[in-house]
Amino acid sequence: MKTETKAVHAGDRKRNPETPHAFVPSSMPIYTATTYLYEDTAKLDRVLGREEPGFCYGRYDNPTRTGLEELLTELESGHSAQVCSSGMMAIHVALLAALTDRPKSVLAANALYGATTTLLTQVLEPMGVSVNFVDICDLAAVQHKIEESKPGCIVMETMSNPLLRVGDLDCIAELAEEAGAALLVDNTFATPLLVRPLEHGANFSVHSLTKFLAGHGDVLGGVVVTDEAHSNVVRTLSRTLGPVLGPFESYLTMRGIKTFALRVERQCQNACRIATWLQSHPRVARVHYLADPNHPDAAVIHRLLPEGLYGALVPFEIKDATKEDVFRFMDKLKVVVCGTSLGDVHSMLLYPAIASHRDIAPKQRQRMGISDGLVRLCAGIEAVEDIIADLDQALS
């Protein structure tokens, strides 16, 4: 079954086996109860002991949340999923699960979302976890760093934030497996429509549900989709730490996912048109886009991504722009929304230096290739002519 069909049907229309003749709702209802009761205490005992399927307590399970987790498991070709209160919580849970019975050492891509880098260096490292960074697009360097640092977990993004570098996912998965390390991939930018990391050998695929999957700017959430080997430890961590997503957010995310394939296809089309237009604009110094035949990772991109679907992100650099120049450009935008997210139905523009990578030191940002003139545009589903006209008037 294709991703587009799974997005519409998976996780819905549950029939209660104890009332087989009851009606079946066409979409997943919102279950707000924190506690679930049974006429037979022995059955409650079995449910609490996970010997029998069922719901007992909101920190453990919730029918609405479970429907969403089944949907996300199907979309990512995983064994199970755990939805969390945010994307960062999902990354944290995945890291804890990966390191539970492995060396407390992480090898991470040197180009990551700023908060992920902060989590590694300011939270895990002071707690005794060794953290090393590597150019994830240099396989020889990755192999050398694996041999040198002997990591318990390797962390990368399908497409790096914000410059859209693409590592050789399946080759890195092989290196991780040979070294006994878990591979954790943040798949937020790609979505399961473009890439499904577990199909390439990853152990964890993590998303910020806030972005493309929920897609309407009204949900804060995350998910860890995992393989069979890590399923139980993720579930145990969730039951213990309680990072769970609420039933209302679970419902909204599930509803949003039903149209995510249509939205992402349109966003990919718009992004391609915008990138082509920006490349010829006199005020634009450089455009970062995956369909560019001169992209440094072009061979990997064309092997991993479906033809014609290159994502909705179009980072670009305004020529010779200072921070004040970028602010003036952003303040002139009327259709494109300036905010600290992406993946919504409306086009959104973010300035990494004050948002996604604000906590990264300026010199480190420069080393990462994040210049003062770099902005990150995420195409929405509007008429592309209106997006381009808005960018044009703001750049002029």
Of 6, 31, 165, 186, the catalytic one is 186
Backbone angles phi, psi at 235, to 5 degrees: -65, -40
Q: Is 186 a catalytic residue?
A: yes
Q: Containing H/E element for 7?
A: helix 3-9
List Cα–Cα distances, 64 to 19, 239, 249, 335, in angstroms.
18, 16, 9, 35
Question: How many residues would you count in the chain?
Answer: 396
Q: Is 36 a catalytic residue?
A: no
Give CA–CA dist 300/295, Å, rounded: 10
274 within 8 A of 384, measured Cβ to Cβ:
yes
If DSSP codes are grouped into helix, strand and coil, which group holds residue 69? Answer: helix
List Cα–Cα distances, 307 to 10, 193, 218, 290, in angstroms.
25, 12, 31, 11
Q: Is 59 a catalytic residue?
A: yes
Considering only CA atoms, which of 164, 168, 244 is closest in space to residue 202? Answer: 168
Q: Is 211 a catalytic residue?
A: yes
DSSP conformation letters of 275-335:
HHHHHT-TTEEEE--TT-TT-TTHHHHHHHSPTT---SEEEEEETT--HHHHHHHHHH-SS
Of 6, 31, 113, 376, the catalytic one is 113
Considering only CA atoms, which of 396, 371, 366, 391 is closest in space to residue 380? Answer: 391
Backbone angles phi, psi at 171, to 5 degrees: -70, -40
Of 50, 59, 255, 258, the catalytic one is 59
Q: Containing H/E element for 376?
A: strand 374-378
Contacts of residue 130, Cβ cutoff 8 Å, sequence gap at least 6: 104, 105, 106, 149, 151
Give CA–CA dist 222/90, Å, rounded: 5
Of 211, 263, 283, 365, the catalytic one is 211
Considering only CA atoms, which of 324, 331, 378, 325 is closest in space to residue 350? Answer: 378
Give the other-Cβ count within 10 Å of 236's Cβ: 13
Active centre residues (catalytic): 59, 113, 186, 211
